[in-house]
Amino acid sequence: MPRAGHRRTVATANAAATASRRQAPDLFQPIWRLLTSVRFAVLYISVLAGVGLMGVVIPQVPEPMRGNDAAIDAWLAHERGTFGPFTDPMHRLGLFEVFHARWFLFALAFLVLNVTTCTVNRWSPTFRNVFNPPKRVPEPFFAHAHNRTTLAAVEPEHAESALRRLRFRVRRETQGGATYLFADRYPWAQLATFISHLALILFIAGGLVTRLTGFSAEIFSGEGTTSPIFAVSNPNQLQVRIDDAVGAFGDKGNPLDFRTHLTIFKNGQQVASGFTTVNDPLKYGGYRFHQVAYFPDGAALRIRDLATGNTVVHETFPLQETTAAPSVTITDASGNVLLNDVLPPTDFLSAASGGLVSVPGTDRVLWIGLTAKDQQAWQLAVFDPKSSPATSPQDAQARIDEGASAPVGALTVRFDRVVSLPSAVGIVPSGAQAAGPDADKLLAELSHASDGRPLLQLVGPGRPALLLAPDQPVQAGGYEYTFEGTREFAGIAVKRDHGATFIWVATAMLLGGLAITFYVPRRRLWLKLTGEATHVAALAEKSGGFERDMRILARRLGVQIPPELQEEP
């Protein structure tokens, strides 16, 4: 008795456990149904598209400011004028850095999971439909299918032959006095949907790989300059030296070619060398070195302390600004040209900019400079500092419009035109004692001598202007200044983007999948051939074309095209 009771107790416990398992909710099923829901996928993609639109419409923190809290705070202070009290909440939500926000990256990762799950869920039925489709359909299908027609009776062998010539794979069977044909063309085309889905996954994966492992930096350097790519403390430091920057222009100033010869160093050792262009980058170690800019005007300057012999400044700098300078022609009473040159200014006054000019062949020294006539025109201001306007006004001064001439004593001064000289302000580091306390105010102006040689003029407050010819040192104030010549500048973008491979493959797959879907549609036909007629039915293909295929088949069979399939005149 005890043993029997024990068995009944165990059986009761097992039954209770089984019932409990049946009643226990399966948490995986709702999640699976959600991930495999096409409606949810469409809704989720729509929401992500809306978020992406927000990232385009709402101002985003500029890339150079990212990671700099002080710069971001200053930027947010400016945006408060637009968004008011919503600025701080929007910043905390990451709406000013949408595409860099963690939640956006997680959202993209979830989209990959969603699309992958949908694809896996559809794989089995699609695979079965492609490689093992139903060969027979119920009899009512021939009478009620959306795509159906009836042709004249033909021999089964003739129908099978015509379908094969139309690139259908045909299976035939006979039953109950009728012959049934199943014709299938391009069954593999249905797999194109998986190619498109995989392309979407690769697009997102490529974006995530780029975001997590990508690198981008830009270098703007002159010829002969070596610049680091990473932070100085990086143990895998790469350095790029600009050997030769080349820019070719047409007769009308249109750019024809930009290319730069680079040498790449790693830990002090040369590892690569070659030319880079906009479309043909130099490659090394997974990095691409693209030419993105070219600037023709630059200068190399060396300043040496004469007392110690040490070089305190050695820079190659771009002349990215311009200084207006007059082109002047001075002739004597006989019409002989004494001076025909562009005069870089050395004195910058509140109403004019110019400088003292010694007129060759005479003892005259004139102050010649530019002053604004109005908002659109310049005038040339000329005066002789040694003359007295009260006693000899003709020798004292003149104001000359562009293209005009005026006498100044026995000389005639012509204002030919205004020239924009390449220049730069603050070319010497402010900590360099060689240039004195006003180093950050130094102005460099690039002009050319009558023989075409470049000339670099250094102008600073409280010091005489220095006019430097290439490789001809000039000593002043205990220092030696050497203009080493002009230098061209190149802008180089350094990029590493492992996600680019994903993007290119995904693009090819997406285009291929769409091309197959629209231009190589699958066709499945079921035919029932009797002695009275040939009944044809097909599934409703989204790409259409059933009527056209039936007209072609009727012509191949040599039977009349049914009236409902006739083309409209």
Q: 11 vs 1, 7, 24, 509, CA distance in Å?
A: 15, 6, 20, 59
For position 261, what pLDDT does the model report?
A: 95
Q: Are 326 and 342 in contact (CB under 8 A)?
A: yes
State what percent of residues in the chain have pLDDT above 70: 89
| Residue pointed to by tokens 């102006």 | 445
User: Band of the pLDDT at 437, cuts 50, 70, 90?
Assistant: very low
Q: Whole-angstrom Cα distance, residue 388 to residue 300?
A: 43
Q: Are 339 and 357 in contact (CB under 8 A)?
A: yes
Q: Whole-angstrom Cα distance, residue 356 to residue 383?
A: 10
Q: Whole-angstrom Cα distance, residue 170 to residue 175?
A: 16
What angle in degrees, to the nearest 10, is found between the helix axes of 28-35 and 102-131?
80
Query: Does residue 220 surpass a pLDDT of 80?
Result: yes
Give the E-state strand segments of 440-561 in sequence order: 443-448, 454-459, 466-468, 474-476, 479-486, 489-496, 523-529, 533-538
pTM for this entry: 0.62
For position 272, what pLDDT does the model report?
A: 94
Query: Does residue 23 surpass a pLDDT of 60?
Result: no
For position 388, what pLDDT does the model report?
A: 60
Q: Is 6 helix (H, G, I), strand (E, B) or coil?
A: helix
Q: What is the 3-state secondary structure (H, E, C) of 203-222?
A: HHHHHHHHHHHCEEEEEEEE
Query: Does residue 343 surpass a pLDDT of 90?
Result: yes
More confident site: 98 or 66: 98
| Residue pointed to by tokens 């956006």 | 104
For position 384, what pLDDT does the model report?
A: 86
Report domain extents, the chain: 142-186+522-565, 215-295, 302-484
| Residue pointed to by tokens 């000593």 | 475
CATH of 142-186+522-565, one of 1.10.760, 3.40.30, 3.30.160, 1.20.120: 3.30.160
Query: Does residue 567 surpass a pLDDT of 80?
Result: no
Q: Whole-angstrom Cα distance, residue 453 to residue 470?
A: 8
Q: Are 287 and 493 in contact (CB under 8 A)?
A: no
For residue range 487-543, what is the model confidence (pLDDT) as tens digits?
Answer: 999 999 998 888 888 888 888 998 998 888 888 888 899 999 998 999 999 986 655
For position 24, what pLDDT does the model report?
A: 42
Q: Whole-angstrom Cα distance, residue 439 to residue 9?
A: 99
Q: Are 166 and 181 in contact (CB under 8 A)?
A: no
User: Band of the pLDDT at 13, cuts 50, 70, 90?
Assistant: very low
State the virtual CA torsion across 131, 134, 135, 141 in degrees, nearest 10.
Answer: -150
User: Band of the pLDDT at 373, cuts 50, 70, 90?
Assistant: confident
114: left (phi over 0), alpha (psi -120 to 50) or beta: alpha
Q: Are 148 and 535 in contact (CB under 8 A)?
A: yes
Task: Note every long-range contact of 378-383, with CB atoms under 8 Å and residues 24 or more positions apart, other chains counting.
Answer: 378/324, 378/326, 378/402, 378/418, 379/415, 380/326, 380/328, 380/413, 380/415, 381/352, 381/354, 382/406, 382/408, 382/413, 383/408
For residue range 441-458, what is the model confidence (pLDDT) as tens digits?
Answer: 688 999 998 888 999 999
For position 566, what pLDDT does the model report?
A: 80
Query: Does residue 196 surpass a pLDDT of 50?
Result: yes
For residue range 239-289, what is the model confidence (pLDDT) as tens digits?
Answer: 999 999 998 888 777 778 889 999 999 988 999 999 999 889 999 988 999
- What is the secondary structure of 240-270 as a DSSP string? EEEEEEEEEE-TTS-EEEEEEEEEEEETTEE
- Bridging pattern class, strands 337-342 and 347-348: unpaired
For position 429, what pLDDT does the model report?
A: 44
For position 284, what pLDDT does the model report?
A: 93
**How many helices (H) and strands (E) in the chain?**
12, 29
Angle at 486 between CA 481 and CA 488, to 5 degrees: 140
User: What is the rounded average pLDDT of the residues 114-122?
Assistant: 83
More confident site: 200 or 156: 156
Residue 277's contacts (CB-CB under 8 Å, 6 or more residues apart) are: 257, 258, 259, 260, 291
Q: Whole-angstrom Cα distance, residue 3 to residue 477?
A: 117
More confident site: 65 or 105: 105
User: Band of the pLDDT at 127, cuts 50, 70, 90?
Assistant: confident
For position 542, what pLDDT does the model report?
A: 57
Query: Does residue 19 surpass a pLDDT of 70?
Result: no
User: What is the rounded average pLDDT of the residues 95-123?
Assistant: 84
User: What is the rounded average pLDDT of the residues 548-568?
Assistant: 87
Q: Whole-angstrom Cα distance, residue 212 to residue 50?
A: 23
Amino acid, res. 14:
N
Q: Whole-angstrom Cα distance, residue 503 to residue 207?
A: 8
- What is the secondary structure of 103-168 as a DSSP string? HHHHHHHHHHHHHHHHHHHHHHHHHHHHHS--S---HHHHHH-SEEEEEE---HHHHHHHHHHTT-
For position 327, what pLDDT does the model report?
A: 95
Provide the terminal-to-terminal Cα distance of the chain, rounded to the nearest Å: 95
For residue range 128-184, what is the model confidence (pLDDT) as tens digits?
Answer: 888 888 889 999 999 999 899 999 999 999 999 999 999 999 999 998 889 999 999
Q: Are 65 and 79 in contact (CB under 8 A)?
A: no
Query: With b meaning 16 or more CB within 10 Å and e meaning fewer, what string describes 395-422?
Result: bbbbebebeebbebbebbbbbbeebebb
For position 182, what pLDDT does the model report?
A: 94
Q: Whole-angstrom Cα distance, residue 515 to residue 192?
A: 9
For position 434, what pLDDT does the model report?
A: 42
For residue range 312-335, what is the model confidence (pLDDT) as tens digits?
Answer: 888 888 999 999 999 999 999 899
